[in-house]
Homo-oligomer: A and B are copies of this chain.
Amino acid sequence: MSPKISDEHKELRRQQILEAAERVFIRKGYEPATMKDFVEEAEMSRGWIYLYFQSKEEIFGALMEKFDTANAKEMNEQLEETDSTWEALVALLNQQKKDLSATAESLSPTFYEYYLSGWRDSLRREQLTRRFERSIAGYTRLLQTGVDRGEFNPSLPIALVAKIIVSQLDGILSHTLAVGAEQAEADRLLDALIVYTRQLLGVSK
């Protein structure tokens, strides 16, 4: 009974479902969102959606994957756009300003809810550990590129510098969620992080 459609069409449908689910998660958060909500938001039949995803968990997993892939792609693009690893890193950190100003209308609160409310759930803990490792590995690779190019002469191991950067970004994000970008002074915190990172990396002119 499943309709015959091309791979391209399939991928388009899949993206439409993910976009609809993202809007629902942003509006309602994780726990209250249901497959029924996604069906209504996507304006597809229930059967269509279940061809692609069996559960809310699966849809959320696909959304996380989509965002992680997009972030990795952005990092690579920034690196390709310029010969300067430092400029690529600054562009990435400055991009966070834009992201943070829209954080309340993003998936961030739902990500936090999923991981922190689900903190006692071993599956979510494993996912969280994998995402942590992926994020640190991404920044470490970027820093290694700068070392290889002779741009950086870091005073600390680059994996530790990556952890400093990512933990500070997460701290700024959580404050922005808590009280808003303005009261948290998110932009100034990011500017300070850029200055600090430059120094940790011993960036040459």
- A positions within 8 Å CB-CB of B: 29, 31, 109, 112-113, 115-117, 119-120, 128-129, 132-133, 156, 160, 163-164, 166-172, 174-175, 177-179, 183-185, 188-189, 192, 196, 200
When A109-B116, A116-B116, A175-B132 are in contact, do A184 and B160 touch as well, CB less than 8 Å? Answer: no
Residue contact B178 to A164, C-beta cutoff 8 Å: no
Residue contact A172 to B179, C-beta cutoff 8 Å: no
The minimal Cβ–Cβ distance linking A161 to chain B, given in whole angstroms, is: 9
Dominant secondary structure at the A interface: helix
| Cβ–Cβ < 8 Å partners of A200 in chain B | 192
* Sample of 10 further A-B pairs with CB below 8 A, known A31-B117, A166-B171: A29-B119, A29-B120, A119-B177, A128-B178, A129-B178, A129-B179, A163-B185, A163-B188, A170-B171, A170-B174
